[in-house]
């Protein structure tokens, strides 16, 4: 739905301004934080997800999800060590 943004992106002469994401979805950087910052293994992270300790967005709630055209990779911080930070 609609919402108020305090600082709308500047308008460029030939580029239309728009906001696709108002913020990162819930749990968007979980894997990065748990691997790179806390040192958890992939298996440990999956176990915590299974137990409901770690949460990612709920696909059945549209307002919690990335935009529909998101490729599943863009914007994720790489937990594997090489960049793709933004």
- pLDDT per residue over 28-68, tens digit each? 888 899 999 999 999 999 999 999 899 888 888 777 778 77
| Residue 31 contacts residue 54 (beta carbons within 8 Å) | no
Residue the block writes with tokens 């997800």:
49
Determine the length of the chain.
Answer: 86
Higher pLDDT pick, 50 / 4 = 50
Helical H segments across 1-86, by residue range: 30-32, 42-50
**pLDDT-based confidence at residue 86 (cuts at 50, 70, 90):** very low
| Residue 27 contacts residue 55 (beta carbons within 8 Å) | yes
Residue 47's alpha-carbon distances to 8, 55, 58, 68, 85, in angstroms, are 40, 12, 18, 28, 25
């Amino acid at each position: 739905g609609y919402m108020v943004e305090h600082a709308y992106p500047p308008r460029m002469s030939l580029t239309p301004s728009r906001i696709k994401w108002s913020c990162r979805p819930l749990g968007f950087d979980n894997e990065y934080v748990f691997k790179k910052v806390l040192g958890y293994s992939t298996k440990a992270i999956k176990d915590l997800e299974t137990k409901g300790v770690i949460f990612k967005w709920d696909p059945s709630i549209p307002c919690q999800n990335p935009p529909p055209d998101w490729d599943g990779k863009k914007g994720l911080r790489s937990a594997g060590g090489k960049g793709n930070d933004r």
